[in-house]
Structure 1
Amino acid sequence: MVDMLALRLCYPLTLINNNNYIYCRKTLSPLWNTKPRSYSFFKLEARNSKASFNEAAFEAERLTLDAEARQAMADSLQEDPKAWKWVIRKRIWDAMEANNFAQNPRPVHHRIPNFVSASVAADKMRELDVFRVAQCVKVNPDSPQKQVRYLTLSDGKKLLTPQPRLRTGFFSVIESNMLTSGTIKEACTSVGVAKYGRPIGLDEKIKVDLIVIGSVAVDPTTGARLGKGEGFAELEYGMLRYMGAIDDSTLVVTSVHDCQLVDDIPVEKLLIHDVPVDIICTPTQVIFTNTSIPKPQGIYWDKLSPEKLGQIRILRELKRRIELETGQKLPTGPSENLPPTAQRSRRG
């Protein structure tokens, strides 16, 4: 049974089933040159939401959508093998596989690579003063940072984590006081985030004290970082800036294997939206980069391709919102062939 408020709804509308809630949304006008209709969200909360959550169905749907997205992106790829970022990424991925520094899911190519002793690097991060005092930590959803998510919750902190590829939503917040010792580990997985997390929107008032970000390669002397090439970490950072959840003083930390430390990321070639890191944790050391690379100030719409915008609903919502508020149409970046993502191994 569901407790419901009596609502007068205007046609057309869309019903959205989002984890533990059902949302009713008025449909926006599809005509960009006409005044969009106002829209609003109504939340209908289920009394017994956890009992109604179907883990198997969620995971099956997630894997299906994930495979479709990977295949569509791979089909559109026309990779330039001479592009400098891809040269570095491929070198790191190849080395991790060749030297067995990689852990499942494998192969690590086109992923934020899971690495041997990732939990040791996470434990070193836990010892940082900035981690100890943080009340809310944003952590990426990738495998090598699973232990960081676990430590965040087990230490009584609030975990903010993006939904994979931002394709179906935005961020989810998990409150550690809503979990038991037996459910914390599950809450660190994609299924657990959907089961225990509370989806948030752009209007959420939240302060993030620390950002944990995944990396493929990072330069310990400059703080320059390369991700897997999809740009989601940069988009997440930009949206948090828009929300006022972070600012220039919010530290960015990454955990990597020592073999992922490089010295050939040319700072002068980094883009304005690339996110540098302040601290690097490996299984053997903690490095304070004292980076002088400026942090992004928000979303750079003139760099955002129509293809990337088409992938991410929350970005389209933000773009519409800003255009309505300012009365001006935001620029759009050049088209791009989106890079491939890793093919998931069944044994992974």
Structure 2
Amino acid sequence: MAESVVGDITPHDGVSKGKQEKYKLEDFGFRYIESLLKPFNENLGREVRNAWLEFERAETKEAQYMHEMDKLECMIQAHEYEQRTHGRKDLEEFQGLSSKVTSAEGVSWLGLLQQERQSHLSKRRQRIPVIFVIGATGVGKRTQCTLLFEEFGFQHISLGDVLRERSNDHTYPHADFLENCLDESVKIPTGLSISLLEKSITKGMKDGKRWILMRGFPESTEELHEFEDKVQKPNYTLLLSCTAEKMLMRSASACSDLDMERRLRAFTAQSVEIENRLKAVQGYYKNIDGDGSIEEVFGSVKKAVVEFIQHAEVEKKGDKEGKEAASTAKRQGC
């Protein structure tokens, strides 16, 4: 509570006298809070400060328990930050606080936290590069993904194909639900779609695939956010674009002009926000002109993918060197 007045005091703030100076600053904060509350309730301000003093002295069982929870909360925050940075931060040093957690409840909660963290670290180690291949209907996503599969051997995943496959799998508990949604053109819950995509990615990894092509996904910022939060981030993106006339010509046999125009409007409305979000990460985004012949477009697509592969190798090397440097510094006590 005192932090609302004096700010969060960390070892990096250069507080000259360590705990003593920190105590002094926090005491000042609580005295100020007490003075703010005094005109409204004289006893309340005093009670708040006395509760803090009890916590600081750690003489009662309640205060000792709160100290333990304070350490556990710090570990939880560190893990949440690891999750938000999608593996770019490894805050292992905070796990040393686990020795301070000794109560039965604390140990139980600590076990759950450590289990969740290990699961997160395991997923992070197994991360596989994903390329979103997006664009409006008729732009040539399926054709280009097929050519990339033939050229590089990447796993090719389409959410639509995955949903249809699962809807026909009567051992899958949500098969009937998926079938009804597909028949009625009802949007599948995003969480369910992401779960199925994640399972497809995991299967690809087990099959030895090194890269994943994800065709036609994401179609909305909601899907993008959910995938980034639940599966991985960042991901590479190929945005195929061409003129409306070209898309209409390519899709003439698949749908009417009116339906095509409706799909194009829907994609355009969603794509601007998605595009801005995806291209914000440097090196992970390419916009491909899809107006040319299949061979011409594939030449551009192939070049972009090769650049993605090179980018991934550089990042992988940088991560390895960074971890080795951090490990060396830790051994040397830096």
Per the normalisation by structure 2, the TM-score is 0.25
Instruction: Report which structure shows greater RCO (CA 8 Å, sep ≥6).
Output: 1
Per the normalisation by structure 1, the TM-score is 0.24
Question: More helix per residue: 1 or 2?
Answer: 2
